[in-house]
Amino acid sequence: MKKSRITKRCTLAAGNFVSLELLDYEDEQGQCRKWEAVQRVGAQHAAVIIAQMRQGKEILLIRQYRPALDSYVLEFPAGLIDIGESASECALRELREETGYSGNILKIMPPAASSAGLCGELLTLVLVSIDENKAENQTPKADLQEGENIQSFLVHPDNMDQFIEHRLQAGDILDSRLAAWISRSL
């Protein structure tokens, strides 16, 4: 069977961070088709950090306002991988910037599609252990960029369902990666 492939890309609109493209592609049967897709400007990969405290086993979550949803979203820390930066370097940088914590990489997963029907972004899940006894993790202070307002939460897995329910009742939206992680034991 023939493999599908893109034959033409046309940028319909471009902003500072994303662009909208019209893609012409040929499917497995040789049919020419069109698809609209969102692409990031200057980056296509991101790191998502699943961080757990070494002794207490709490999971580190963040809550931040997401303008595209006009709502606060409960999620794992994450960020775009800079040019020349590895997923692990990005994960440790974003962990420090968004939460103030430092940690050690336990595992790096292969890149996975963020929202394959909409965009070309790939996510790398990075599992991190945080030693809460280290001096720099005693009173963590985030180094947020202008316009960022991020709250951090340490939630023990035994209390995760109650915490999530409370946040949803308060009007927050649950990020799909966090929802998948929570449901992994079903």
Binned average pLDDT, 10 residues per bin, the chain of 186 residues = 94 96 96 96 90 96 96 97 95 97 98 94 97 95 90 96 97 96 80
Is residue 113 helix, strand or coil? strand
pLDDT of residue 186: 60
CATH 3.90.79.10 residue spans of the chain: 45-185
Question: Could you give the CA distance from residue 27 to residue 3 in angstroms, rounded to a whole number?
Answer: 7
- Check: pTM over 0.85? Answer yes or no: yes
CATH class of domain segment(s) 45-185: alpha beta
Token pair 């890149």: residue: 111
Q: Which amino acid is at 165?
A: E
Would you list the DSSP string of 6-60?
EEEEEEEEE-SSEEEEEEEEE-TTS-EEEEEEEEESS--EEEEEEEEETTT-PEE
